[in-house]
Amino acid sequence: MDFRKDLNQIYSVCLEATRTAGKILKDSYGEVKTIDFKGSIDIVTDVDKKAEDEIIKIIKSHFPEHTILAEESGLSDKHSKVKWIIDPLDGTTNFSHGYKCFSVSVAVEIEGEVVVGAVFDPMADELFSAQKDKDAFLNGEKINVSEVKTLKHSLLCTGFYYNVEGKNFAENIEMFKAFSKRAQAVRRDGSAALDLCYVACGRFEAFWEMDLKAWDIAAGSLIVKEAGGRLSDYSGNVFSIYKEEVLVSNEKIFSEMLEVLKPFRS
């Protein structure tokens, strides 16, 4: 069966699921009742689970045979060549504190390649989306990475994984320092999916982070790519949503970003 023929339908179901989950987040904003700790500071709320269930319900109603990888419920046991990769609430810590920086991220991978992705920020009503080789969009308008030419004039973003005891924590702080000395400014916003989309639409010039999971970056990475961005690991090697290191940037400052990351390569 040629799944690629179904791409338009897959794309529209992806947008529908992302928007519907976003509405759940927005409706529950400021009213979180149940918070469980997955790790010492890594949380999950009842809203993460509710949004994820709704996304899966929508996907299954159209494509019951597709495989699903979702942050809260894991990998379904289906063996389809089409895999949906879902983060129902990216930025749970922000959400639970009433900080309006969080999103829903839904992507579709076919035979190992991400071909469809959507990231929705329900508070700003911003839907970022892309299909492979068909450009990237924000609320239906085509977007592009920025034209800023130098690191010195760039606004960057990064994020830190929850494990503050882990080996990468000290390195993260050093990287933050190194970029802070060279860039115009550096932010740590707390929703990797949205951070990637902000590079895609030119609000940030670049983003880097370690230890992200496929559901954090599957949709956003396609969106940056389709918006003309560069993606790699810290050594400039081929990007993968399953690798530990993520670097995305506009074309112009990519080599400067790699230069600063040199001492931190794995």
Interface residues toward ligand IPD, by CB under 6 A: 87, 90-92, 159-161, 190-192, 212, 216
Question: 224-262: buried (b, 16+ CB within 10 Å) or exposed (e) per residue?
Answer: bbbbbbbbbbbebeebbbebebbbbbbebbbebbbebbe
Give the alpha-carbon dihedral of 222, 228, 229, 232, to 10 degrees.
70
Residue 190, binding choice from Ca ion, ligand IPD, none, Cβ under 5 to 8 Å by partner class? ligand IPD
Q: Which residues contact 243 (CB under 8 A, 6 or more apart)?
A: 233
Give the alpha-carbon dihedral of 103, 109, 115, 117, to 10 degrees.
-10
Of 38 and 152, nearer to Ca ion (C-beta) is 38
Residue nearest to Ca ion (CB): 90
Nearest approach, Cβ of 112 to ligand IPD (angstroms)? 23
Of 3 and 169, nearer to ligand IPD (C-beta) is 169
CA–CA dist 36, 150 (Å, integer): 43
- The answer to whether residue 87 forms part of the interface with Ca ion (CB under 5 A) is yes
Nearest approach, Cβ of 89 to Ca ion (angstroms)? 5
Of 67 and 163, nearer to ligand IPD (C-beta) is 163
Residue 229, binding choice from ligand IPD, Ca ion, none, Cβ under 5 to 8 Å by partner class? none
What are φ and ψ of residue 155, in 5° steps?
A: -100, 120
How is residue 180 written in tokens? Answer: 């802070």
Of 87 and 121, nearer to ligand IPD (C-beta) is 87
Q: Rule CB under 5 A: which residues touch Ca ion?
A: 71, 87, 89-90, 216
